[in-house]
Amino acid sequence: MNKKISFVGCGKMAQAIIGGILKSNLVNPRQIIASARTELTLEDVKNRWEIQTRSSNIEAAKEADILFLAIKPDGHGAVIDEIKNSINSQAIIITIAAGISLSFLEQSFGRKIKAVRSMPNTPSLVGEGMSVLSANESVTPEDMEEVIKIFSCIGKAAVMEEKMMDAIPAISGSSPAYVYMFIEALADGGVKAGLSRDQSYQLAAQAVLGAAKMVLETGKHPAELKDEVCTPGGATIEAVAELERKGFRASVLSAMEQCFDKTKALSGKN
């Protein structure tokens, strides 16, 4: 890819994307530029990847063909106001923050821009992310292909209509936190049964990883896969019945609704 990719903000998610891009050899380190609030962060990423760094957001933004706004939702207004007169008119602007709408980006820049709203998740840090993308009408199919290539460096990427974006944090953006809680609970059960903590985490995490791959690679319905584990009169069906009695599914659905409502509230502000 013959593009310069800039990051305004260089936290964990930005670093995951940078690492994935370079590991995939999509661009070379000299094509990546980053700015950050602290010199310590800039020094760290420069030493790790030999990318270019800038102490000024304006300097990072004006060189970009593709610009990531890798900042918190409430920081977008001030940062956009700072850089909006410095960006290339053909630059693709990508936000990775929850609740930042395409219309908010357009209004904040005060002119037509190529804008992409994205929702990656933290497994991107290990190359197993799920990113959902939505673009405004100024983004061409060719532009979108390049954006997809970038996000494919950290896992899988899907394009959806923006009206669906507020639902994404609940199902893929925030859901790793629910899964970590599930893994922790499984591990606690293992410890209670006499296994070591390390053994319990390894067994629980691998079981979750394997189950997820079964869903993705077999194409079978999760209910069918669940039934295959539950032998008649066996231990697994007893566990499943207890999860149902305790409202396992209802709890997950309720948590997702709370997450969705919060994201909608953020979108209302942005």
- What gap in Å lies between CA 44 and CA 119, rounded to an integer? 25
Burial (Cβ within 10 Å: 0-12, 13-18, ≥19) of residue 156: middle
Distance CA 238, CA 251 (A): 19
Please check if 51 is assigned to a binding site: no
Q: Confirm or deny that 57 is annotated as ligand binding.
A: yes
C-alpha radius of gyration, the chain, whole number: 21
On whether the CB atoms of residues 7 and 14 are closer than 8 A, the answer is yes
Q: Are 109 and 100 in contact (CB under 8 A)?
A: no
The answer to whether the annotation marks 71 as part of a ligand binding site is yes
Instruction: Please check if 5 is assigned to a binding site.
Output: no
Q: What are phi and psi of 68, to 5 degrees?
A: -90, 125
Q: How many whole angstroms from its chain centre is CA 21?
A: 15
Secondary structure of residue 156 in the 3-state scheme = strand
Termini Cα distance of the chain: 32
Tally of CB atoms within 10 A around 152? 15
- Residue 117, classed as helix, strand or coil, is strand
Annotated binding residues for NADP(+): 70-73
Question: Could you tell me which residues are annotated as the binding site for NADPH?
Answer: 57
Annotated binding site: 57, 70-73
